[in-house]
Each structure stands twice: as structure tokens, then as C-alpha cells.
Amino acid sequence: MPYASVQGTELYYEDHGRGEPVVLLHNGLGSTKSFTKQVPEFSKNFRVVTYDRRGYGHSAHMTSLKKGWLEDSVDELSSFLDEIKVDRAHLCGICVGGAIALLFAVKNPSRANDVTVAGTCCFGEAETSQKALKLYPTPDELPSDWLREIAEHHGETYGKDLYRVFYQAIREENGYPFKEYDLRPILPQVKSPVLIIYGDRDNLFDLKQAYAMHNHLRKARLRIIPSCGHLSNEEKPGDFNRETLDFFRRYID
């Protein structure tokens, strides 16, 4: 399995196809496996890179999630691209992966060809953590289907440990999106075109988040996928792939 040495940490990654680079950024409890329905299609015309962020999948494990981890993830992405020698790419992030992509585009405008975000929160609210805690079961009450999915991404033993880290971060309001989290002030600084994809039945972030993001970006397209929940790339891959590939092709250098 290929690994890249990034900031003293070994990150697992996969590299498929040829052409302009597309970098796929997984969601909060996801991994490279989150994109099994995208990689075969995207790699027909693009070089597609996925990687497990530090603490996820096959990459180095973590025992806690502290405030500042989101900014650290942006720096990690920059160093990772340096390591695999990608100067500029189409970025596509799911949920928190989208937040990382947008923050990266602000900090590194010359390196983001365009940005696609799906199910990404625009701003936190006072009740954000409470809402998340209602949606996510406690670590000791994980249903069997949740356990299977977490084990598939992170392994049976570490998957349970990672979920405890994730759940504790939400309780401490360090988890995405924490109460102070707000992309609105920085969104006007994003120079790259942005595609926003949202499911109309997202039970984690409602559509006002998508509209707020669209209203604060200079160059943005908003696509609402009907009868779709939070993870549109997994739930409605046909719609997701079509919208995203069409967007990529508009901005090929």
C-alpha cells in the first residue's frame, strides 16, 4: 500500500488514472473507501488521488481531536500535495472534506483549479453540537450497521476507538462543526469556481447552509439532489458524478 511521509506522519493514499489531478477529500468518519463509486468513473479522464487524513483509515492513528485540527488538516493537504508532486488540482470534499478544500483554496489560491463541496456546513450555531449528539449514538450504543461501516473504513478495533474520539470531540465542541465554526467571512476570498451539492433530505445540515454558502461565494453553482440525504456521493452517485464531472470539465486548464 502506498504511503506518503507528511509532517512526520505516514498517510495512506491511492492514485488512479491519468490527466489533470482530482483530489477527493473524505468526510468526518470516512476514508479512501468513501469514494468507491467515484474513482472508477472519474479516473477514466483524470488522475484521481484519495488519501486517509491523519487519524483515519490506514493512516497513523490518533487519540484525541483538539481545537485547531481543521486548520491543521488544511496544512496537511498542502504538504501532502507537495509530497506527491501535485501543484494544482480539482478539489472535491464531502462534509468536512469540503470545508478543508475551501480553506485550502483561500490559503493557496493558485493551487485550487476549482472546488466541489457536498453536504458541507457553512456555519455553526448554538445548538449545533446538541443536534449532532442527537443524531450520533453514544459509543456504547452503536448499532450493528454503524459498527460494520466504521470497521470497514478503519478496522474493527481502531474504528471503535476513533468513534469515541469523534463523539468526545462533539461533546467538547471541538468536532466539526463546532459552535465558533463559520466559513462566511472567508468565502468571498475564494477565487476558484465552487460547485455546492446538497441532498434535499440532509438530516445533519439543512438547506439554509447551502444557500448561505452560495450567497457568500463569488463564483458558485448550487445543485440540490432530490430524495437524497447527507452523503450524496454514496447515496446518489449517478447524480453526484454527473454534476461533478461536468463541473470539472468546465475548468480544465
* Structure confidence by residue, pLDDT tens digits, 104-123: 999 999 999 999 999 999 99
Q: What domains does the chain contain, in order, with CATH numbers?
A: 3-122+182-250 (3.40.50.1820)
Average pLDDT over residues 226-238: 97
Band the pLDDT of 44: cuts 50, 70, 90: very high
pLDDT tens, position by position, 118-166: 999 999 987 788 888 888 999 999 999 999 999 999 999 999 999 999 9
SS3 91: strand
Choose between 52 and 177: higher pLDDT. Answer: 52
Whether residue 253 is predicted with pLDDT greater than 80 in this model: the reply is no
Cβ contacts of 130 within 8 Å, gap of 6 or more: none
Helix (H) or strand (E) holding 198: strand 194-199
Choose between 44 and 179: higher pLDDT. Answer: 44
- Percent share of the chain, pLDDT over 70: 99
pLDDT tens, position by position, 164-173: 999 999 998 8
Whether residue 12 is predicted with pLDDT greater than 80 in this model: the reply is yes
DSSP labels, 114-169: EEEEES---B--TTHHHHHHHHSPPGGG--HHHHHHHHHHH-HHHHHHHHHHHHHH
Average pLDDT over residues 74-98: 98
8 A C-beta contact, residue 111 and residue 43: no
Closest CA to 89 of 103, 76, 78, 74: 78
Whether residue 175 is predicted with pLDDT greater than 90 in this model: the reply is no
Band the pLDDT of 13: cuts 50, 70, 90: very high
pTM, entire model? 0.96
C-alpha cell at 119: 453536504
CB hemisphere CA count around 198 (13 angstroms): 23
